[in-house]
Structure 1
Amino acid sequence: MKSIRQIALWLALAATLASGTALASSDAGRESQFSIGSGVRPLGMGGGFVGLSDDASAVFWNQAALSSLDGQEINLMHVTLLEGSIYDVVTYVYPNPKLGGFGFSFMRLGTGDIIRRQDWNDMGEFSYSTWQFLVAYGRTLEGGYQVGTALKIVNQSLDSKSAYGVGMDLSFYKNVYKNLSVGVLFQDVIAPHLRLEDATEITPTTISAGIGLKKLSFGRGFEHNVGLSLEKTEDRSLKLRVGLESVYHKYLALRAGYDRDNMAFGIGIYYQRLHFDYAYKFLDGLADSHRLGMTIAVGMPVSEKLRREKELESARGSSLILEDRRRQFHFFKELGDKYYRANNLDSAYAYYQRATAFNEEDHDVRNRLAQIDNSRNILLEKARLSATERKAIPSSLDAYYAQAELFYSKGSYAAALDVINEALDMEPDNQKFIALRDQIFTARDAEIRRMTDEAVRAEREGRYADAITSYNRILELSPGNVAVKQLVAKTGTELHNFQLISKGAELFSLGNLSDARRRFEEVIKTDPDNVVALEYMERINRLMKESTELEVLQKDEKVWKIYLNALEYFRNGDYEKAIELWNEVLKFYPGNKNTLNNIEQAKLRLQSK
């Protein structure tokens, strides 16, 4: 690669030196009085800056490049021309990484002390000047293409006469490969019309196209920039501008170029945020031209701003992720507490386990998990002892009656009825046991009616888990009860599918996709058109193919910002906006677990409002 760069540099040098003779012939067409250009640095390189345009002079050479400048600059230029004529330029640029690049430039060409003569008599002196003020803007589009424009107000004054006109430039710019950039400028595409008395002057349109090679690093301590432009003005032949700049250790620059008709040379000195430039151009048959300039860097460079913004965004992301982990932990802990209070230990255990994924060190959750494990062991031991005790029931009917009453008082209707049935097997007409059995039937039926009402109400309010709990409790109370059998017969497959869907949804929310899929497949076997099961199956199939972790989002700067913004909306209570942004994330990463879980939580928060 080094040899290719060296060849490119030597070709640029050869073109610079050879073009002096190749394009030295002049033509008689008109051109803008501001065709000298802007910026001492570009002029020292022959003005081959349309494809380079990496400083404040881009306001003149290629406005599209304004959006890629690295900071604010004020550029001053002073040029001496023949017969005391002076050409001055003041330029200010303000690039913004989000809004684009803005630029303003005032350019003035003038001469004074012109002797007024009438009939060979000296009638005093007068002056001539022309100036233009440019307001420029450049923006980067998708794919790295840059476009720009400049609106210009032009004035021409001769003695006491003055005229104004308005014009516009249009430009394009693109960094095509590493250090290589190209640009096109349509100058005065809307041409200013200046009318002084009966004479009207129309600025001709100029089209320029160029390439730039930037920061070619070879030669110890040197960086090289090469610019080449072809320029075509109406009624004039094609012109060449080409130049080379070599910068040594970023404090001394040497420049050479060919500016359409003559050679130009320049030098630049860099001191902290100040740049001092000088350029010299040979003019055939006229006094040579000296150009002086100074550039002042203002404010923080764009690259430094972006670096700091990225650091702040990273810190903000870390803070939001920590906050999100705390929120996720409390969400699952609260669910665990809810089911623990309802004595639904299996569900409580599952949600406490999910909570530990976000905070393994929380003592409350760890203690609850230990308590549930302990409770499970106690229940197993009780079940073992209960079976043993049932076998050791004394044959005495009084003991049977006392045992039945004990089960009844604890709400264990099925166990109480089992004891009564055993006693009635021994003495079928025992009225004491029959009365107790009727009493238990009445209490059990009342409990069934209450649980049925709760189940229907829960189902109507969308609390399906509570409804399933109530239905299961009814079946536990009276597995052979006619009313329960009628309810089961009425709901039949629908109730069974409902239970499967509820369990599948719970498994889906816990991330157990394979078990959830098995339950939804079982639903579809009996109800192929079940919309809920089909929707869950589609989501599971997609997730199982494209499941992603949070780290994947963090690597995608654009999507990561959307994700973090959604977290902020969630934190501020704007759940609908958070869901909207998280759905945007899912368009890029449809299987991201964190995003899907966040959407579910936001929906739950909306329902609880």
Structure 2
Amino acid sequence: MMKKYIYKLIIFILLSIGFSLPACFAKGRGTTGANFLKIGVGARPLGMGGAFVAVADDANTIWWNPAGVATTKHKEMTLMHNEMGEDIRYQFLAYNQPVGKLRGGLGGSISYLSVSNIQGYSPGGTKTKKLRTYDLGISLCYGLRILPSVSGGINFKFINEKLAHKKDSTYAFDIGGLWKTPLSGLQLGFNIQNLGGGLKFIQERSSLPLNGKLGCAYEFKFFNAQSIVAVDVNIPVDYSVFVNGGVECKIYNLIALRAGFKSKDDLSSGLRLGIGIGGKNLVIDYSWLSRGDFEDSHRVSATLRFGREYEESMIEKDIKEHFERGKKYFYNGQILKAHREFKNILLVSPGHKGARDFMSRIEVSVEEVEVAKDIANFFSLGEKYYKKGDLISARAMFEDIIALNPDHQGAKDYINRIEQRFDEVVDSIFARGVSYYEQANYVKALVEMEKVLALNPNHQEVKEYVTLIENKQRELEKIKLALKKKQEEKRRNRKISTYLKKGLTYYQRKQWTKAIKSFNEVLVLTPDHKVALEHTVICYYEQGLILYGEDKLLEALHTFNNVLRLNPEHEQAQEQILRINEECKEKAEEYNRKGLVEYTRGNLKEAIEAWENALLFNPDLETAQRNLERARKEIKK
């Protein structure tokens, strides 16, 4: 067994040899290009002070350690926005997922740094227009599980940088490794970042900011809160060695509190703080960094986990948590609690070997003295529940005892007494329900009967009463609906009577428009109302005659058409419509001739107006239509 772990350690050390590469090529400050590659990503890692190379357990691992992609158990996406101050913004998007056929996982990321409102200057020092610069990084990552506890990864990068009017691109890659040590919760990791070419803008080529990271992370329980302590050592090519450290503490798997530091920070004390809020699928993270005389830096990121693999991993995680709790209870002598945990596991995963083994051991252990003491404690608790009148909780405790020791006579006696008490309570509640039923208070009666069924689901007489109550409630509902319908009918008839009376009054006064409005209100409520229909027809006809007498031909035509809409056989309205149509044609001819006169005088607008009027009176007058089209074309020239 020891040889196996030594073998894994040797592999991990060989992978870590490359960690010394940055020191081999060490340069001074300010000698590298594409320095946006130094900016850490993810509000969660940054809230931990940037100590993440050995944690590497979410989509941010693409940047921090590509080997972490090999251990991913589900599809995951993260998006970060970083307000760095001074019009500098940094965005990062990453996605990874497990790929079983490749014995690991794949991922990709996009990072974008933009700086706006940079004042430009000419060679002579004169101000020019505002300039804008950006840095773009696109990466593809592959992580491989070399051994069950050792994984490696490589991250290929395309880098593009624009400075004012100059652009250049290059390629680079990162190499990382992770080792889950035999010590539970301890993990080691390394990452060599930005191996590759450089960028050239004018004459000299600037190398990339090569950096080596080596870190360790320890995961443990702190007052039942899942916690991580992590430390990273960085050896950059253009800077002295510095250390990042951080902690994370998850409370109820809903809130994560984070804090961290950076040993060498020219702009601040090095303190970082962060918080994460969310559930299993979505987490929102925030981190804060003080930057001395500059604006504070704020990072916000959102991480989304999804897919079938994620759901399965959550089930596996829940099973693992129940199993660990069950083991803890078992070895602490809390046999009943352990029994419940392993029982819950077997309900979800009946073939779980560990849970089945412990259940077998529990069945044997119930005969031991320690278990007897534990049962005695639960027996005492059951008695307390019984004395308080909490019969349901008391019965649950005694039934759990019998599940472990079927011959426990004391638990059996209490269960018999509880059943008798239940019968008394059931009879009392049932009598109260019957009383409510006889008083026709069916709502309260149903509530009481449902209480009885909660205690005794097989109570046949109660079931019969429930059926009777439901039938009575349906009958009452029908009566209520009938009364409601009758009331609505009365209200409708009152409205009809009111509108009809008003309409007849207006009719007698020959106020045709108001009369029509009132009669139409009647017809909305009852479309076949004979009196309203007859009087509406008369009102429309009389109104049409008035309009015709005022030479309002089109309005009169519309009004007589309303007469025919209500009474298609109305001969007088038909005659009026024929007469008006003839007069409309004559009017149209007059307007057409007027248009020709204005057209010959060169008055195109007046001609167009005349022909438009002609078509209002006779839309089928082709000569007016042609003349209008010709005039409109000419007026556009």
TM-score w.r.t. length of structure 1: 0.44
Asked which structure has the greater RCO (Cα within 8 Å, sep 6+), the reply is 1
TM-score, reference length from structure 2 = 0.42
